């Protein structure tokens, strides 16, 4: 009888419960929050590295710096299809679509930044840094998100 219990325990130990597939609405909400956080991270890193601000009093300024990027992204992302159900569990498609969406979103962000922040054309070095750094942050967030959803979908 003890052998049977040990066999049952080892078979149940092998059966792991994996998180269920995330509902579509929840995935979209998480993506929107994460996308916004990506631009806040960029803003935080930029403002602190240039010693423009520090402390809790700098939060409104950090948000102000991030707003053109957030606005550009959310003006473009839905039209490019970044929140479509078929993208939620497709890491490669998510990465490609994210990169394609960032190009027009970046242009809009630079125009908005020029109007509301720089009061002119932003420096070309800043524009290049903003393009590549935000793209990396978005990919580092969105690709694993889709990979995790794929694993949940497969039950692994």
pLDDT digits (tens, 9 = 90+) for 131-147: 999 999 999 999 999 99
- CA 112 centroid distance within chain: 21
In sequence order, which ranges of the chain are alpha helices (DSSP H)? 2-14, 24-49, 59-80, 91-113, 124-154
For the chain, the helix, strand and coil percentages under 3-state DSSP, each to the nearest 5: 80, 0, 20
Tell which wins on pLDDT, 36 or 4. 36
pLDDT in tens, 69-90: 999 999 999 999 999 999 999 9
The residue ranges of every structural domain in the chain are 56-156
Structure pTM?
0.82
């Amino acid at each position: 009888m003890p052998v049977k219990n040990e066999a049952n325990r080892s078979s149940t130990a092998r059966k792991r419960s994996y998180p269920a597939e995330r509902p579509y609405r929840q995935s979209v909400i998480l993506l929107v929050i994460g996308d916004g956080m990506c631009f806040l991270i960029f803003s935080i890193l930029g403002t602190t590295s240039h010693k423009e601000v520090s402390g809790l009093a700098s939060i409104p300024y950090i948000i102000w710096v991030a707003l053109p990027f957030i606005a550009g992204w959310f003006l473009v992302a839905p039209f490019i299809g970044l929140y479509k159900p078929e993208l939620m569990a497709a890491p490669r498609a998510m990465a490609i679509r994210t990169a394609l969406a960032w190009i027009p979103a970046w242009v809009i962000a630079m125009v908005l930044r020029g109007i509301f922040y720089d009061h002119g054309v932003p420096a070309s070095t800043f524009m290049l840094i903003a393009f590549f750094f935000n793209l990396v942050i978005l990919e580092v967030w969105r690709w694993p998100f889709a990979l995790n959803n794929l694993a949940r979908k497969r039950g692994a």
